[in-house]
């Protein structure tokens, strides 16, 4: 079975950034980021906020809706 690519995972790939980059910049656990990127976990509001803080370091106009189904 092929790995599902969420919008977040696609963004990381397009940006040439690793999940590890997101772990370090968002301060969200490696396991949580992995599960979010593969669609195995839906992030909490607090986790979305942390992830978006990291993404906005790269793209200040990014919106949570661009990465998560909220």
Domain definitions of the chain by residue range: 7-66
pLDDT for residue 47? 98
Q: Tell me the C-alpha distance between 6 and 52, whole Å.
A: 15
Note down pLDDT in tens along the chain; length 70 residues. Answer: 556 789 999 999 999 999 999 999 999 999 999 999 999 999 999 999 999 999 999 999 999 999 998 8
pLDDT for residue 2? 58
Contact 29, 23 (CB under 8 A): yes
Q: Tell me the C-alpha distance between 39 and 53, whole Å.
A: 20
pLDDT for residue 62? 97
Could you tell me which residues come within 8 angstroms of residue 37 by beta carbon, excluding any fewer than 6 positions away?
5, 6, 8, 9, 12, 19
Taking domain 7-66, whether its CATH number is 1.10.260 is answered by yes
Rounded to two decimals, the pTM is 0.91
pLDDT for residue 3? 61
């Amino acid at each position: 079975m092929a790995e599902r690519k969420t919008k977040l995972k696609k963004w990381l790939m397009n940006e040439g950034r690793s999940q590890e980059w997101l772990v370090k910049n968002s301060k969200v656990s490696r396991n949580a980021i992995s599960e979010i990127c593969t669609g195995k976990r839906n992030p909490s509001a607090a986790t979305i906020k942390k992830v978006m803080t990291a993404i906005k370091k790269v793209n200040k106009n990014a919106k949570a809706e661009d990465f998560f189904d909220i």
